[in-house]
Chains A and B, each alone.
Chain A
């Protein structure tokens, strides 16, 4: 089943912060975050592994709550280049399985 993301869309001024949430109805083994700009392919940002290990981006952070089956992506001091649609992806069964992607969050950063 598809993870649910919130909010669906957000508009920020440059320098503001944002939080994007990803909730799953199934147990989470890992959470993968991607950003996609219009007309382009998704670009890998970050992976959060069960047990708290986080690998990925320098300026963006994330949390992973296994009990609540949720992950949140934190964008601080947003830049214009952060604009795009953010997707979380979760493996179906164990970290080695394919990813099912969430509903997406459209982020627009303005001057």
Chain B
């Protein structure tokens, strides 16, 4: 049983460039979440999907951010025209709705550094 996997694990990009992160959830999980975390803070919710439907987006998710989960399996998070303030760890997580109180399991995260 593989866990949540994210790619790339580390990304350094110049300000103004676009970046895309991919997340593969635990295979039977129907929910997929994206969180962002900066040093010293807890994970902040960005958005989540149930199957392919995007059910909620945080106000943190500006127009430069877009997430997709086209076939209800893997998901991508794209950040356009990156800014230095986007530097953070982007965490993907998944859960199986209806089981064990909707326990959420995180991937190892994708570190983004905008220079």
Contact = CB atoms under 8 A, between A and B. Distances in A.
19 contacts: A30-B101, A32-B101, A32-B103, A41-B89, A41-B108, A41-B109, A44-B106, A47-B101, A89-B104, A91-B102, A95-B101, A98-B33, A98-B45, A98-B56, A101-B42, A101-B44, A102-B42, A104-B40, A104-B41
Interface of B is mostly: loop
Contacts of B98: 96
Interface string A73-87: 000000000000001
Contacts of B89: 41
B103 A47 contact: yes
Nearest to A29: B101
Interface of A: 2, 30, 32, 34, 40-44, 47, 49, 55, 87, 89, 91, 95-96, 98-104
Contacts of A32: 101, 103-104
B100 interface: yes
Given A47-B100, A95-B101, A41 B106 contact: yes
A41 B91 contact: yes
Residue of B44, B45, B97, B101 most packed against chain A (CB within 10 A) = B101
B72 interface: no
Interface residues on B, range: 20 to 34
B108 A40 contact: yes
A30 B41 CA distance: 21
Nearest to A94: B102
Q: Give 6 closest A-B pairs by Cβ, nearest first.
A: A101-B42, A41-B106, A41-B109, A30-B101, A47-B101, A49-B101
A42 B106 contact: yes
Contact of B45 (A40, A43, A100, A103): A100
A59 B3 CA distance: 23
